Amino acid sequence: MSETIQYTHKDMASDQEVRWCPGCDDYVILRAVQRALPKIGKKREDIVFISGIGCSSRFPYYVETFGMHSIHGRAAPIATGVKLANPDLSVWMISGDGDSLAIGGNHFIHVLRRNIDLNIILFNNEIYGLTKGQFSPTSKLDQITKTSPYGNTQPPFNAGALAMGANARFFARVSGNSLKEMQTLFVQAEKFRGSALIEVMQNCPIFNEGAFDVYNDRAQRPNTQLFLEHAKPMIFGAEKNKGIVLKGLKLEVVTIGENGVVEEDILIHDAHEPDPTLHTMLVKLVNPIITGIIRSVDELTFGDRFIGQMNARKSAANGKTFNDLVVSGETYYLK
Amino acid sequence: MSETIQYTHKDMASDQEVRWCPGCDDYVILRAVQRALPKIGKKREDIVFISGIGCSSRFPYYVETFGMHSIHGRAAPIATGVKLANPDLSVWMISGDGDSLAIGGNHFIHVLRRNIDLNIILFNNEIYGLTKGQFSPTSKLDQITKTSPYGNTQPPFNAGALAMGANARFFARVSGNSLKEMQTLFVQAEKFRGSALIEVMQNCPIFNEGAFDVYNDRAQRPNTQLFLEHAKPMIFGAEKNKGIVLKGLKLEVVTIGENGVVEEDILIHDAHEPDPTLHTMLVKLVNPIITGIIRSVDELTFGDRFIGQMNARKSAANGKTFNDLVVSGETYYLK
Amino acid sequence: MQKELSKRPSNDLSNLVIRFSGDSGDGMQLTGMQFSDTSAMMGNDIATFPNYPAEIRAPQGSKYGVSGFQVQISDKDIFSPGDELDLLVAMNPAALKANIGDLAPGKTLLVDSDAFSEKFLKKSGYRSNPLEDGSLDAYRLIAVPMTKNTQKALEDFDMDRKAKFRSKNMYTLGIVYWMYGRDLDHTIEFLEQKFEKKPLIKEANQLVLRAGNIYAQNLELIATHYQVRPASLEKGHYRIIRGSQAIAWGLVAAAQKAEMELFFGSYPITPASDILNELVKYPELSVKAFQAEDEIAAVSSAIGSSFAGDLGVTSTSGPGLALKGEAIGLAMMIELPLVIINAQRGGPSTGMPTKTEQSDLLQALYGRNGESPIIVVAAHSPSHCFDMAFEAARLSIEHMTPVLLLSDGFIGNGSEPWLIKKLEDLPTIRKNVAQDPENWTPYTRDKDTLVRQWAVPGMKGFEHRVGGLEKHEKTGNVNMVPLNHEAMTKIRAEKVKRVENNIPALRVHGVQSGPLLVVGWGGTFGALFTACKEIREEGQEIAHAHFDYINPFPKNSAEVFSAFKTILVCELNAGQLVKQFRSSFPKMNFIQYNKIQGLPFTNGELKNKFMSILSSGEDL
Amino acid sequence: MQKELSKRPSNDLSNLVIRFSGDSGDGMQLTGMQFSDTSAMMGNDIATFPNYPAEIRAPQGSKYGVSGFQVQISDKDIFSPGDELDLLVAMNPAALKANIGDLAPGKTLLVDSDAFSEKFLKKSGYRSNPLEDGSLDAYRLIAVPMTKNTQKALEDFDMDRKAKFRSKNMYTLGIVYWMYGRDLDHTIEFLEQKFEKKPLIKEANQLVLRAGNIYAQNLELIATHYQVRPASLEKGHYRIIRGSQAIAWGLVAAAQKAEMELFFGSYPITPASDILNELVKYPELSVKAFQAEDEIAAVSSAIGSSFAGDLGVTSTSGPGLALKGEAIGLAMMIELPLVIINAQRGGPSTGMPTKTEQSDLLQALYGRNGESPIIVVAAHSPSHCFDMAFEAARLSIEHMTPVLLLSDGFIGNGSEPWLIKKLEDLPTIRKNVAQDPENWTPYTRDKDTLVRQWAVPGMKGFEHRVGGLEKHEKTGNVNMVPLNHEAMTKIRAEKVKRVENNIPALRVHGVQSGPLLVVGWGGTFGALFTACKEIREEGQEIAHAHFDYINPFPKNSAEVFSAFKTILVCELNAGQLVKQFRSSFPKMNFIQYNKIQGLPFTNGELKNKFMSILSSGEDL
Ligand SMILES: Cc1ncc(C[n+]2csc(CCOP(=O)(O)OP(=O)(O)O)c2C)c(N)n1
Ligand SMILES: Cc1ncc(C[n+]2csc(CCOP(=O)(O)OP(=O)(O)O)c2C)c(N)n1
Ligand code: SF4
Ligand code: SF4
Ligand SMILES: [Mg+2]
Ligand SMILES: [Mg+2]
């Protein structure tokens, strides 16, 4: 960046009135993004938001950058096209649990596999908001929703586990009401080269009120949520005395000072470990839930490989144009 | 089954001429299936094969059961519909790496998530056969194919790892030239209640000759492949002296008798362990490649839950019919 | 609960159109539904039209959060929710602003004066308060401090302000009930059941309903007290039915009639979701409502279920239909029953999801690769949705081919009285089940209908394979021979064509020949029928024919057309059915009238159009 | 490598049609290509038609494994691969059986007598050996023991039997080269390069080619030695181009001309894959060929790339097009350039993937929800694919709307001489790039064309959001107002309509008025043109007009139609363009001629049809 621009979060707000339900966590996520953007060192015109369809997918309208509110489930391939067309852009993909894990499931796993350099915010409210309350692929078993009046019979995906299976290089999780943490994570996601997936536990007060209360609620949170930091021990609890240890191939919660456990016994988080085994185990913990950056492993991005191959061929080809192509190989003259 | 039928593999062959290229592993898989079917104790009319599109997907034509050669990528939801319509059927889904991991990726992860009671054979030849040799989502990085003349730039899926991320309850892998092992696995898959996924390392001699030679070749195989059996130690090698041990969170290959390693140090395979951590690690090993049933964990199938809920409601409703529905709630008479 | 009502005589208004409008949080849909249900139970015919915003809950008082529910009640059969409002209820300035344009001078306007605060006025773009600045002088304005009155009525209730506020709509309803002489019973009972487990809320709502009713009774301000007498509907046992519910029930009826299980594979999308939302309730009726991961999986699962012997059905709206095209082609090719319901909405692309439109007809006909004919039918009113869903299933089972039923947001969300049908009242559905494995191939066809014989897994001796590749005319084996392909293509087309022998003739309402035939399809029925009827009542010759069957057309269509000098095709699109007419009846002359506003036709605009054609006398 | 050829005079045959047929493993496609390339380089015009089986490698000798390659070479301009064979090459009984029906008595038949073993005869359903039982008496039969001769020629080569067997096609080619006086040079050189790294195989093939040539020369049996002299093609620099290659190159040219990068998102499908297979070769020309996970991702990635300023293109065939409908609707709605190439194949459903058909036209026009007009154009020959791909890109960029280019398996796989075009020979492409952020909104339109101004990410001050919801006519903000929707729907339609001002007029070949106008579109051009020309040469009045532009139609279409008594629309489908004509030109009378066999029209059947119409003289 040659020129430095000093934006404030207000510069990142478009003139469109925000149209989510009162109390929806989507407002918090929006605020976090608008506060994070001035910190990423990109000009507004070099930022693009691509969303699918859903409550969450209205997001691009509210950010004063380029944006597209596309069609249901297809934000990932559209964002892929944007990034490949212009690798210099900061490209953000906005999507819901239905948008990315139901109809968009295929693109979701492929974008992660390819490691397209995107920042992906997954608004997981465990429900279809926009269509008024049907269960989603992350809704809980037995959950009562508009389309499961007798209880949901479809075991849910764990979004993080699915992402790991698809070879995600960056995965973070955060509470939908944590403005500050989100802000930090969004900046870190942008810094990460590759697909950076952030799952937000987003409360939908209208159709799935309280789905994440046990994790998001300020009072309960210290005991139910562990916000990871790289190279720090996995300690949590209102009294900072609980921690995670590895017993064989299982993670266990222990209390420091009880049964002879000392702080040194607690696992140290290594987000950069290429082997995803421990990250996958962390992703699946439910008590406590693991938040923060669980995995962040550098690898070539798809752009590095794909555009890289193109550029390599280009320099080898020495300015070859269409005019060279048409006369290459066998041609002949008729007189 | 009231009546016992004694079929031979010939009873399972339809009158259609088989149309794969000479030397294709698909022939071996077909033979294995035709030999397994008489052993599953199902009548021919109660067996259904559903495939998508691809070389592999021609399969149903060759089996003397009910079958559908459907459209590209959609075998999973079609098979789902078949099974839910008639839970007594033995339903087999036949698919390729393109069919199930490219266009059909979304259905693939959802069928596993729901745990539909199907037997899924994934013909993984790491190439698009039918369309004549483009790379697939399992083709190797840098592989030269018709659409990657300068080397494939898309890092592949590990089919097993993706399946684990989608919460697969049964996953097995096998060489495409191992008639006997396949036969056994197919019978075991049918016995398993839930989605039983078998990945076949299938050689395509035309477009991807030798992709699995290092694993499938009879001479090399003992040292490159470990065929797991439940409750048995993970031992392999031409001299049966190599084994897998767990070091922290990594799997390591050791030689029994060297460095003080004894047979008791070797991991014992537990296919039924519900925690998928070790299974996921095994699925990703490449040296040796792990074959056999890696994971087989009983859980309610989707049919159990979905049809179960239906049946529960039915018995509670006591023969309620449409005629009861129309007069339920508020109605009125006009005279 | 069944009630017996006798038609009570009255010499008041013969019909009445009311629109309730307010914030999406104001409960206007429920209020409107209560009003129409009560009226229906009192013997009126009713027709409703909900019109709600795309947002789930837009910020309070904002323009785009305005939700509306219109109902027409009448003592005669009616066919549309009407367009000339007698009463507009506006719960706040935004609702007033959005709707006042549809209220003719002299008509009545009921507002919550408490909602006309400075904040809300500003939000909705008013510079001054219309209740005070004289701008509403042309109307009978009834301004009631509903918010305050509601709060006051609930003074002694141990509830927070917000909860109290939420029952305001019952206060409004109480007022309106008194204005039009409606009984409170139905709503009292409704609240009884709805809040069975929340007695406080139940009592609060009931009290507020009565308070509004009493307020209206006591207040001099309310000058006009109309009463609509019961309609001359056919005698019988009725219930109120919504269009999407009627579709769901029609499918259940068809499955039971055909002795099949109903498999319903769907993925939510507005406005089709309501069919799924309804069908999930009935596992006890052997309904397998499967919410799939996407539209493709939804239709595919339905195809799979049909292959295994269920009645496979899928539902969606425009964008979802676009995704299902390939799979519908497969079902057509393998000749299995499959019902596809497309609840149309405003397009193109995501378009206007909560608005109505008829712009998916050509997609229904042609949205697949290759020569891929399927049956296309359309429902024309909420209760007709029942008939056409049943009919779609009947045709699909009897003809072994996909049937696409077009509905739309307007009739899907609308409701009207439905003369209850029981299984014994419904036509038989004949399945073509294969009998003799010896003389059977998958494509053994009936000589007359060209329908193939169905064999499902489990039937011994019928093992066979189907698929999307072209197949041999007799054996059904994969076959690429040129003449066979031509033969099969023609058979598939002819099979659908011959469905014309199994559907009713096109009916003409009004004169059977004359200067002008108005033609429509789908949800415009009520508006077209009413406008034509009224014009006839004014002494002009005009006829109306409505196409419930679009592919194939009824056999007598050309004959009907040829009896009229001018044929006017009216559609809520840019002219899709008329395109079909022009290519199918090339010798005839069609003119068209189109509206593409996401709204139904109004009576006024139709009558204007028709009259201008009739009076021009020109050969257009 | 460039060669200079002068037209050498000859008084032999003026044109020649050869079909090479054999097992899919017999290398007939390559053989045919070599023959046609050589002929083109010797100055003939050529037109080819490969016809291959659905199987990759079917079992040897089986009927469904027969692969064919037909070529017509001529000393005049030709437009189709011909249908009256002069020579049929049949490498085995199955190939003979499948193709003999197309060989007229008296014509030449060349077979490998070694392949007529009992086993292969049985496999292909022959009861006795046709080479011996007299059933081929009507033909000039040339039976050569090609397998044995090839093995013998390679006696000294250290290769296994199978590898030797594989070069048999070169032996055949050697014979055919001699029969028609072709040089071996081109093929010798081709083998030189192809097997550069496998010298043994190279030498074997070259030797076998010569051996066949010498054998033919020496053998008395071969009585007829034709020679076709160079065609009177326009002078210039030529190369042979396949249709799918021409599409790929047309896109590359358009992108370079417009100074954009070409983004090509695709998912393989027969017969469209070849375009992808071609474009992946050119990263050095800034071609980003992205193989996506499915068709939806393919088109979506292309849309994304367009949004960010690339020329976004996607390609597919019928079933894949069905999947792309929803996304194409989005591109239409947000008014971005997008080129969709649909290489048609036999439908419906999976249908006949390797056969040709024109049955996706209605899908192209209507396969999306809502009122969703896009530009639809069609290529009519292999080299015309270049022009139309360029044209599709030009129109898409200039009009900011999706353009769907229809091609088909017949022209995509076919090849013909192409007068090389360089960038400077191609028309300019004008981009509508926004200039002034102050006076710009996303939907600021050109008054004449109604095209909006494009602003791509990176352009400061132009930050904006687009999407699939209906948008305000001016600001582009989401908008659900009824009249705005109607206005926008009409603007979108009118914008596409006005493209008629930017495309050439419809051209009539032959008389400009008269009794019969033959109309076609797409890959039938050559057959229709030739049949009409020949009929004119026989002294009858007949004209031919070919629609390269289908939506919108060329401006003068109605005028052209009105000059003819009868208009006959010929299509390889059940009548799709004619449907469009009937609805777009309701006053005119169209008759139709259709073939749905997965095959092109033959000259004979066309001329029969045309003559019968001309001679009936009836007003049809
Ligand atoms: C092709 C298509 N199918 C279905 C829909 C309807 N639809 C819109 S959003 C949505 C799901 C919303 O859920 P989610 O993605 O979790 O977003 P949320 O509203 O919860 O933020 C659905 C099913 C659509 N618009 N398009
Ligand atoms: C909708 C659609 N898209 C694309 C195709 C073309 N197609 C057919 S099979 C196939 C992939 C084949 O690969 P795979 O599934 O691995 O099967 P294989 O042939 O290797 O057994 C493709 C792309 C198609 N038939 N339909
Ligand atoms: S429905 Fe739920 S997710 Fe959607 S805006 Fe309202 S609260 Fe938020
Ligand atoms: S192309 Fe490959 S996978 Fe397909 S049939 Fe031939 S060898 Fe088998
Ligand atoms: Mg959600
Ligand atoms: Mg494959």
Q: Would the CB of B71 count as within 6 Å of ligand 4?
A: no
pLDDT per residue as tens digits for the range C192-203: 999 999 999 999
Would you tell me how many other CB atoms lie within 10 Å of the CB of residue C309? 23
The pLDDT assigned to D225 comes to 45
Q: How far is the CA of A315 from the centre of ligand 4 (A)?
A: 37
Tell whether B315 lies on the interface with A, counting CB pairs under 8 A. no
Contact of B216 with B201, CB cutoff 8 Å: yes
ω into residue C348 within 30 of 0, thus cis? yes
Give the span between the Cα atoms of D581 and C540, in whole angstroms: 35
The pLDDT assigned to D58 comes to 66
**Does residue D10 have a pLDDT over 80?**
no
- Find the closest chain A residue to C60 by CA distance: A22
* Contact assignment for B82 to C307 by CB distance below 8 Å: yes
Write the CB contacts of D450 (distance below 8 Å, at least 6 apart in sequence).
Answer: D491, D494, D495, D498
Q: Which has the closest alpha carbon to C169: C110, C121, C105?
A: C110
Contacts of B131 in chain D (CB under 8 A): 268-270, 273
Give me the residue from A102, A129, A147 closest to C293, CB to CB.
Answer: A102
Question: Which residue's CA lies nearest to atom 6 of ligand 3?
Answer: A21
Do C134 and C19 lie in a common domain? yes
* Contact assignment for C284 to B320 by CB distance below 8 Å: yes
Write the CA distances from D612 to A180, C522, D540, D608, D620, integer angstroms. Answer: 82, 44, 12, 6, 12
Write the CA distances from C473 to C470, C483, C485, integer angstroms. Answer: 9, 10, 8
Residue C574: phi and psi, rounded to 5, are -90, 10
Instruction: Please tell me the distance in Å from C286's CA to the nearest CA on chain B.
Output: 7
* Contact assignment for A154 to C62 by CB distance below 8 Å: no
**Does residue C222 have a pLDDT over 60?**
no
The arithmetic mean of pLDDT across residues D120-147, rounded, is 87
Assign D6 a pLDDT band (cuts: 50, 70, 90). Answer: very low
Assign D4 a pLDDT band (cuts: 50, 70, 90). Answer: very low
Give the span between the Cα atoms of D561 and D514, in whole angstroms: 10
Which tokens in the block code for residue C96? 């007033």
Which tokens in the block code for residue C536? 């006839």
The arithmetic mean of pLDDT across residues D473-477, rounded, is 91
In a domain, D264, yes or no: yes
Give the span between the Cα atoms of A243 and A231, in whole angstroms: 14
Do D75 and D193 lie in a common domain? yes
In a domain, A232, yes or no: no
* Contact assignment for C319 to D326 by CB distance below 8 Å: yes
Q: Give the range among A324-333, C569-578, D77-86 with minimum mean pLDDT.
A: D77-86
Write the CB contacts of B29 (distance below 8 Å, at least 6 apart in sequence).
Answer: B56, B59, B121, B123, B176, B182, B200, B202
Dihedral, CA of residue D413, residue D415, residue D420 and residue D425, to nearest 10: -50
Q: Which atom of ligand 1 is nearest to the CA of A204?
A: 20
Q: Of D445, D470, D501, which marks where a domain is finished? A: D501
Do D176 and D248 lie in a common domain? no
Contacts of C490 in chain D (CB under 8 A): 574, 596
Give the span between the Cα atoms of D85 and B312, in whole angstroms: 70
The pLDDT assigned to C3 comes to 44
Question: Which residue's CA lies nearest to atom 1 of ligand 2?
Answer: D320
Assign C1 a pLDDT band (cuts: 50, 70, 90). Answer: very low
In a domain, D430, yes or no: no
Angle D112-D69-C489 from CA coordinates, rounded to 5°: 115
The pLDDT assigned to C77 comes to 81
Q: Of D169, D197, D228, which marks where a domain is finished? A: D228
Site residues for ligand 2, CB cut-off 6 Å: B 53-56, 72, 96-99, 123, 125, 127-131, 136; D 267-269, 295, 319-320, 323
Q: How far is the CA of C266 from the centre of ligand 1 (A)?
A: 13
Average pLDDT, chain C: 91
Contact of D16 with D73, CB cutoff 8 Å: yes
The pLDDT assigned to D229 comes to 64
The pLDDT assigned to C55 comes to 66
Give the span between the Cα atoms of C242 and C418, in whole angstroms: 9
Q: Give the range among A4-8, C393-397, D122-126 with minimum mean pLDDT.
A: A4-8
Question: Which residue's CA lies nearest to atom 5 of ligand 3?
Answer: A20
CATH code of residue A102: 3.40.50.970
Contacts of B115 in chain A (CB under 8 A): 155
Q: Residue D590: helix, strand or coil by DSSP?
A: strand
* Contact assignment for A74 to D468 by CB distance below 8 Å: no
pLDDT per residue as tens digits for the range D535-564: 999 999 999 999 999 999 999 999 999 999
Question: Which residue's CA lies nearest to atom 1 of ligand 4?
Answer: B129
The share of chain D scoring above pLDDT 70, in percent, equals 94
Contact of C306 with C288, CB cutoff 8 Å: no
Phi-psi region of A51 (alpha: psi -120 to 50; beta: other; left: phi over 0): beta
For the residues of C546-574, what is the DSSP string, one character each? E-SEEESPPTTHHHHHHTEEEEEEEESSS
Q: ipTM value, please give it.
A: 0.93
Which tokens in the block code for residue D38? 């050589």
In a domain, B212, yes or no: yes
The pLDDT assigned to A3 comes to 55
* Contact assignment for B249 to A250 by CB distance below 8 Å: no
Element housing C152 (H / E): helix C146-153
Q: Residue C146: helix, strand or coil by DSSP?
A: helix
Range of the domain at B55: 9-216+300-304
Q: Which atom of ligand 3 is nearest to the CA of A19?
A: 5
Do C560 and C492 lie in a common domain? no
In a domain, C430, yes or no: no
Q: Which atom of ligand 2 is nearest to the CA of B123?
A: 21
The arithmetic mean of pLDDT across residues D39-64, rounded, is 78
Candidate from A18, A19, A21, A51 with most ligand 3 atoms within 8 A of CB, to mutate? A21
Instruction: Report the DSSP pairing between strands A170-175 and A289-296.
Output: antiparallel
Tell whether D199 lies on the interface with B, counting CB pairs under 8 A. no
Q: Give the range among A67-81, B301-315, D194-208, D288-302 with minimum mean pLDDT.
A: D194-208
In a domain, D71, yes or no: yes
Do D40 and D176 lie in a common domain? yes
In a domain, D431, yes or no: no
Interface test with D, best of A44, A66, A309 (most D CBs within 10 A): A66
Give the span between the Cα atoms of B233 and B178, in whole angstroms: 21
Do C136 and C265 lie in a common domain? no
**Does residue C7 have a pLDDT over 70?**
no
Give me the residue from C57, C277, C293 closest to A146, CB to CB.
Answer: C277
In a domain, C234, yes or no: no
Give the span between the Cα atoms of A80 and A306, in whole angstroms: 12
* Number of the ligand closest to the Cα of B124: 6
Question: Within the 233-262 window of chain A, which residues sit less than 8 Å (CB to CB) from chain B?
Answer: 246, 249-250
Give the span between the Cα atoms of A185 and A188, in whole angstroms: 5
CATH code of residue C596: 3.40.50.920
The pLDDT assigned to A226 comes to 98
* Contact assignment for B135 to D289 by CB distance below 8 Å: no
pTM: 0.91
Q: How far is the CA of C328 from the centre of ligand 2 (A)?
A: 19
Do C455 and C381 lie in a common domain? no
Instruction: Please tell me the distance in Å from D320's CA to the nearest CA on chain B.
Output: 10
Q: Which has the closest alpha carbon to D363: D169, D179, D579, D591?
A: D579
Would you say how long chain B is, in residues? 335
Q: How far is the CA of A71 from the centre of ligand 1 (A)?
A: 9
Give the span between the Cα atoms of A277 and A266, in whole angstroms: 17
Q: Which has the closest alpha carbon to D508: D552, D584, D562, D585?
A: D562
Assign C311 a pLDDT band (cuts: 50, 70, 90). Answer: very high
**Does residue C220 have a pLDDT over 70?**
no
Would you tell me how many other CB atoms lie within 10 Å of the CB of residue A3? 5
Site residues for ligand 1, CB cut-off 6 Å: A 53-56, 72, 96-99, 103, 123, 125, 127-131, 136; C 267-269, 295, 319-320, 323
Give the span between the Cα atoms of C358 and D516, in whole angstroms: 39
Beta bridge partner(s), residue A332? D3, D238
Instruction: Please tell me the distance in Å from B179's CA to the nearest CA on chain C.
Output: 25
In a domain, A157, yes or no: yes
Q: Residue D284: helix, strand or coil by DSSP?
A: helix
Write the CA distances from B117 to B35, B81, C333, integer angstroms. Answer: 21, 11, 27
Q: Which atom of ligand 3 is nearest to the CA of A20?
A: 5
**Mean pLDDT per 10-residue section of chain B, whose length is 335 residues:** 74 92 94 98 97 98 98 98 98 98 98 98 98 97 98 98 98 98 98 98 96 96 97 97 95 96 97 98 97 98 98 94 93 86
Beta bridge partner(s), residue C546? C520
Write the CA distances from A217 to A179, A214, D158, D501, integer angstroms. Answer: 13, 6, 79, 63
Question: Maximum distance among all alpha carbons in chain D?
Answer: 86
Half-sphere exposure of B208 (CA within 13 A, CB side): 28
In a domain, A255, yes or no: no
The arithmetic mean of pLDDT across residues D602-620, rounded, is 85
Give me the residue from C322, C357, C583 closest to D325, CB to CB.
Answer: C322
Beta bridge partner(s), residue B68? B50, C466
Overall domain count for chain C: 4
* Contact assignment for D349 to C362 by CB distance below 8 Å: no
The arithmetic mean of pLDDT across residues C547-569, rounded, is 98
Q: Is the dihedral of CA A180, A184, A190, A193 positive or negative?
A: negative
* Contact assignment for C368 to D332 by CB distance below 8 Å: no
Establish, for the pair of chains C and D, how many residue pairs have beta carbons separated by less than 8 Å: 227
The pLDDT assigned to B79 comes to 98
The arithmetic mean of pLDDT across residues A50-60, rounded, is 97
Residue C70: phi and psi, rounded to 5, are -110, 140
Would you tell me how many other CB atoms lie within 10 Å of the CB of residue B257? 11
In a domain, C233, yes or no: no
Interface test with A, best of B99, B101, B152, B249 (most A CBs within 10 A): B249
The arithmetic mean of pLDDT across residues C417-439, rounded, is 95
Do C139 and C22 lie in a common domain? yes
**Does residue D619 have a pLDDT over 60?**
no
Do D450 and D331 lie in a common domain? no
Assign C13 a pLDDT band (cuts: 50, 70, 90). Answer: low
In a domain, B221, yes or no: no
The radius of gyration of chain D's CA atoms, rounded to the nearest angstrom, is: 26
The pLDDT assigned to C10 comes to 34
Helices then strands (H, E): number in chain B? 11, 12
Instruction: Please tell me the distance in Å from C416's CA to the nearest CA on chain D.
Output: 25
In a domain, A42, yes or no: yes
Write the CA distances from C22 to A131, C147, C271, C533, integer angstroms. Answer: 21, 13, 21, 33
Contact of D509 with D543, CB cutoff 8 Å: yes
Do C590 and C471 lie in a common domain? no
Contact of B228 with B292, CB cutoff 8 Å: yes
* Contact assignment for D277 to B130 by CB distance below 8 Å: no
Do D289 and D200 lie in a common domain? no
Would you tell me how many other CB atoms lie within 10 Å of the CB of residue A316? 10
Q: Residue A226: helix, strand or coil by DSSP?
A: strand
In a domain, D233, yes or no: no
Instruction: Please tell me the distance in Å from D293's CA to the nearest CA on chain A.
Output: 7
**Does residue D256 have a pLDDT over 50?**
yes
Overall domain count for chain A: 1
**Does residue A128 have a pLDDT over 80?**
yes
Give the span between the Cα atoms of C275 and C379, in whole angstroms: 14
The arithmetic mean of pLDDT across residues A211-216, rounded, is 97
pLDDT per residue as tens digits for the range C511-530: 999 999 999 999 999 999 99
Beta bridge partner(s), residue C16? C73
Instruction: Report the DSSP pairing between strands B250-255 and B242-247.
Output: antiparallel
Q: Which amino acid is at B236?
A: F
The pLDDT assigned to C58 comes to 66
Dihedral, CA of residue B12, residue B15, residue B19 and residue B21, to nearest 10: 60
In a domain, B190, yes or no: yes
The pLDDT assigned to C41 comes to 84
Give the span between the Cα atoms of C144 and C26, in whole angstroms: 16
pLDDT per residue as tens digits for the range A297-307: 999 999 999 99
Q: Which atom of ligand 1 is nearest to the CA of A207?
A: 20
The arithmetic mean of pLDDT across residues D60-65, rounded, is 75
Range of the domain at C475: 437-501
Write the CB contacts of D412 (distance below 8 Å, at least 6 apart in sequence).
Answer: D242, D243, D244, D247, D271, D272, D274, D275, D343, D382, D385
Q: Which one is predicted more confidently, B1 or C109?
A: C109
The pLDDT assigned to C105 comes to 76
Q: Of C393, C425, C457, which marks where a domain is finished? A: C425
Do D556 and D609 lie in a common domain? yes
Beta bridge partner(s), residue D342? D316, D406
Q: Would the CB of A251 count as within 6 Å of ligand 3?
A: no
Assign A104 a pLDDT band (cuts: 50, 70, 90). Answer: very high
Tell whether D277 lies on the interface with B, counting CB pairs under 8 A. yes
Instruction: Please tell me the distance in Å from C352's CA to the nearest CA on chain D.
Output: 6
